[in-house]
């Protein structure tokens, strides 16, 4: 029965064998002509400004014609460098995605071109007990020095609302000393003036509060 079945389907089996043979020969020939190149890709998600380690990378081979000219070919070139943007698993790492280890990024890389960073000194008693973290939003409230009697619109004023906290500063003993915020240049100038004539309180803003910072109350200026 088996022999009769084989005889019956002999043309089909011969065609299948011939097709497989042609495929094998074609694959070997094409493999010889398709050049590949090793490139470095991210092995997992990497956040911006993250220091790159060996486990963050892997090497894959891609057809040479599909490889971007700025692709990194050797993982050793990236160890200790810093990412400049998010990198997703399997994403090819380009030269523009990283910063060399010799140029460790400071906070300037986190400041948009239309803003500036300014340090706002405040001890914990004027800053929600020091319970402020980078990425939080705070309102800046100025209180004039020497004001013995509070009068609405005179003793205190909101200098800026929804200011983005870039860094939280502590001294060597770990005590809270203030925050670095990002703000437009004109507001930074105003904050500097307010700091010379009074104290600034930092008021924590809820995460879901509307607004993106930049409001400057000009009704009360330092020295008035």
Residue 13 located in a structural domain: no
User: Are 48 and 98 within one domain?
Assistant: yes
Spell 45-76 as b/e; 16+ CB within 10 A means b.
ebeebeebeeebbeeeeeeeeebeeebbeebe
Q: Are residues 98 and 171 in the same domain?
A: no
Residue 52 lies in a domain: yes
| 31 in a structural domain | no
The pairing of strands 82-83 and 57-63 is unpaired
Domain residues for the domain of 121 are 111-205
Q: Is the dihedral of CA 176, 181, 187, 189 positive or negative?
A: positive
Condensed to tens digits (0 to 9), the pLDDT of residues 142-193 reads: 988 765 555 555 568 899 999 999 999 999 999 999 999 999 999 999 999 9
Distance, in Å, from the CA atom of 101 to the CA atom of 155, rounded to the nearest integer, reads 49
Specify whether 158 is located in the same domain as 118: yes
Is residue 115 assigned to a domain? yes
Asked if the structure places residue 65 within a domain, the reply is yes
In a domain, residue 1? The reply is no
Q: Do 174 and 130 belong to one domain?
A: yes
Same domain, 192 and 150: yes
Tell whether 16 is covered by a domain.
Answer: no
- CA-CA-CA-CA torsion for 59, 62, 66, 71, nearest 10 degrees? 10
Residue 211 resides in a domain: no
Q: Is the pTM of this model over 0.75?
A: no
Structural domain ending residue among the three candidates 68, 103, 138: 103
Based on the structure, what is the number of domains in the chain?
2
Per-residue pLDDT of 57-109, as tens digits, reads: 999 998 888 889 999 999 998 998 888 889 999 999 999 999 887 766 677 77
Q: Specify whether 56 is located in the same domain as 141.
A: no
Q: Does residue 97 sit in the same domain as residue 149? A: no
**In this structure, are 96 and 124 located in the same domain?**
no
14-64 pLDDT per residue, tens: 666 666 665 565 555 555 557 889 999 999 999 887 889 999 999 999 888
């Amino acid at each position: 029965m088996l022999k009769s079945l084989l005889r019956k389907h002999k043309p089909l089996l011969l065609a299948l064998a011939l097709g497989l043979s042609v495929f094998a020969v074609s694959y070997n020939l094409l493999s010889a002509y398709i050049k590949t190149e090793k490139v470095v890709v991210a092995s997992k998600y990497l956040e911006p400004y993250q220091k790159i380690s060996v486990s963050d990378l892997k090497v894959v081979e891609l057809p040479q014609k599909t490889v971007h000219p700025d692709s990194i070919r050797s993982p050793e070139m990236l160890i200790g460098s810093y990412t400049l943007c998010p990198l997703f698993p399997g994403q090819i790492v380009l030269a523009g995605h990283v910063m060399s280890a010799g140029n460790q990024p400071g906070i300037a890389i986190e400041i948009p071109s239309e803003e500036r960073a300014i340090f706002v000194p405040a001890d914990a008693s004027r800053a929600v007990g020091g319970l402020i973290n980078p990425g939080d939003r705070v309102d800046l409230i100025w209180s004039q020095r020497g004001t013995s009697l509070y009068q609405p619109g005179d003793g205190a004023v909101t200098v800026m609302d929804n200011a983005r906290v870039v860094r939280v500063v502590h001294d060597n003993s770990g005590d809270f000393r203030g925050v670095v915020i990002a703000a437009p240049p004109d507001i930074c100038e105003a904050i500097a003036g307010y700091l010379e004539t009074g104290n600034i309180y930092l008021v924590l803003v809820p995460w879901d509060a509307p607004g993106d910072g930049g409001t400057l109350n000009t009704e009360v200026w330092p020295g008035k």
